[in-house]
Amino acid sequence: MSPELAADSPPAPELAPELTPDTAPELAADSAPVPVMNPGCKIMTFRPTMEEFKDFAKYIAYMETQGAHRAGLAKVIPPKGWKPRKSYDVIEEMTIPAPIMQVVTGQSGLFTQYNIQKKSMTVGEYRQLANSRKYCTPRHKDFDDLERKYWKNLTFVSPIYGADVSGSIYDSEISEWNIGHLNTLLDMVEQECGIVIEGVNTPYLYFGMWKTTFAWHTEDMDLYSINYLHFGEPKSWYAIPPEHGKRLERLAQGFFPGSSQGCDAFLRHKMTLISPSILKKYSIPFDRITQEEGEFMVTFPYGYHAGFNHGFNCAESTNFATLRWIDYGKMATQCTCRKDMVKISMDVFVRCLQPERYVQWKQGKDGMVLDHQRPTTLTSPELEHWRANRSHCPLSLPSHFLRSPLSINQSINQSNVLIKPFLHQLTSQSAVQKTSLKPQTASNAGVEAWWLGKTP
């Protein structure tokens, strides 16, 4: 079905006809240039048919032919009747190993968020906490009213976020848009290198309550991401078009000079909040949309996004890649102040999928310029060759580094102990140097001492 623009957007320009198996573009590597779509860079909403929904990679490529990637964010509403899980009854017993209290400081639309780790709790206990008088969603007329309350009360009553819980709650037989089994280009990291990066090429669960927040950031290595809201209250998103991402970075550097001087890519710390009013004041293009239960959100390479939860909910997320991402991965900025940030070597991707550019890239002479408007191609001769001859690009890692993501049932059966892998002593051929997907945290003692003396 044809896409539509976000509800608060102006009327859509003429959009492409419905995607069907007969009319879907092949998107070969040598395909002709595609006309520029979605010139306003507005967030688009897609409603695939069940037939379209069966091929994840093909539908993502189709979305980009419609210009969805230009907004940095898009919504996908699954076909009627599709559900990733029959029942969520057992979720209550699942453990959230490391909930975080989000302490926000700042004023006038500019804030910094600190995360303080709290003791583990079950999802049932978390739900009761989220619905308690202290943490529950305030009365509001509509989404706009709730958004105003969010920015007005951001620094009061620090919410608890059940973030970065390793695992999936999809039923194992679900094949369509299964976040644990997307089968995209990112799988090369595991298949060629034997490395699992939790939350990047495996799923993470997020249990939210009112005012829990994800600060402005792009994905690790500027990858794509997908987020499905399993149940609960909505989640509001803000997005900045990738072609305007540098403008946000310059604005943030000006407002947070201390953070900027300490790290070249401090927005990767996921601590910086800038309100819509500030973005408007400084003419930074952005759009907003609200995700509701049963809906997907897709973020695109180098698409800055931020947002907050309206109340108790559960979302599942992971990263993925397409051929278009490779050039973004090669140019992705890296955090320079922490040793545990995600960094994927692009060597295997360039060597296998861009062989004609490999030598120049190794010499630092690639000379590539990112084109934020161009949609991805679905496949290429090099990708087909790799799929048919995976042994041609061998990379190895000792077997003790291999790890599979835990399912919801496994996590419950194993006493809910979810242990994050710590990758170390990696060979020079490895894809990941070190990984820690938790947002940067402040010293618990220091911030808690400060917080106890704070008066609203």
pLDDT tens by residue, 413-439:
333 333 233 222 222 333 443 333 354
- Give the CA angle between residues 232, 128, 213 to the nearest 5°: 55
* pLDDT (0 to 100) of residue 393: 53
Binning pLDDT at 50, 70 and 90, where does residue 391 land? low
Q: Is the pLDDT of residue 11 over 80?
A: no
Pairing of the two strands 213-217 and 304-309: antiparallel
* pLDDT (0 to 100) of residue 186: 87
Active-site annotation, residues: 199, 206, 217, 219, 305, 317
String of DSSP letters for 266-314 = GGGGS-EEE-HHHHHHTT---EEEEE-TT-EEEE-TT-EEEEEESSSEE
In the structure encoding, which two tokens stand for residue 70, read together?
Answer: 């230009």
Q: Is the pLDDT of residue 452 over 90?
A: no
In the structure encoding, which two tokens stand for residue 329, read together?
Answer: 């991965």
131-135, 253-257, 329-333, 393-397: range with lowest mean pLDDT: 393-397
Give phi and psi for 124, each to the nearest 5. -60, -45
Q: How far is CA 243 from CA 29, 246, 276, 365, in A?
A: 23, 8, 18, 23
| Distance separating alpha carbons of residues 45 and 95, to the nearest angstrom | 34
- Summarised one tens digit per residue, pLDDT across range 12-55 is 333 333 343 333 444 444 445 556 799 999 999 999 999 999 99
String of DSSP letters for 376-412 = PPS--HHHHHHHH-GGGS-----GGG---PPBHHHHH
| Cβ atoms 432, 200 nearer than 8 A | no
For residue 174, count other CB atoms closer than 10 A to its CB.
17
- Summarised one tens digit per residue, pLDDT across range 114-157 is 999 999 999 999 999 999 999 999 999 999 999 999 999 999 99
CA 225 distance to own-chain centroid: 4
What mean pLDDT do residues 76-99 have?
A: 96
- Summarised one tens digit per residue, pLDDT across range 182-220 is 989 888 777 776 667 776 888 999 999 999 999 999 999
| Distance separating alpha carbons of residues 303 and 372, to the nearest angstrom | 10
151-155, 305-309, 319-323, 383-387: range with lowest mean pLDDT: 383-387
| Residues composing the chain | 456
Q: 0.95 cut: is pTM over it?
A: no
| Cβ atoms 117, 100 nearer than 8 A | yes
* pLDDT (0 to 100) of residue 101: 98
| Cβ atoms 123, 145 nearer than 8 A | no
What mean pLDDT do residues 100-104 have?
A: 98
| Distance separating alpha carbons of residues 393 and 386, to the nearest angstrom | 8
| Distance separating alpha carbons of residues 334 and 126, to the nearest angstrom | 34
pLDDT cut 70: percent of the chain above it: 77
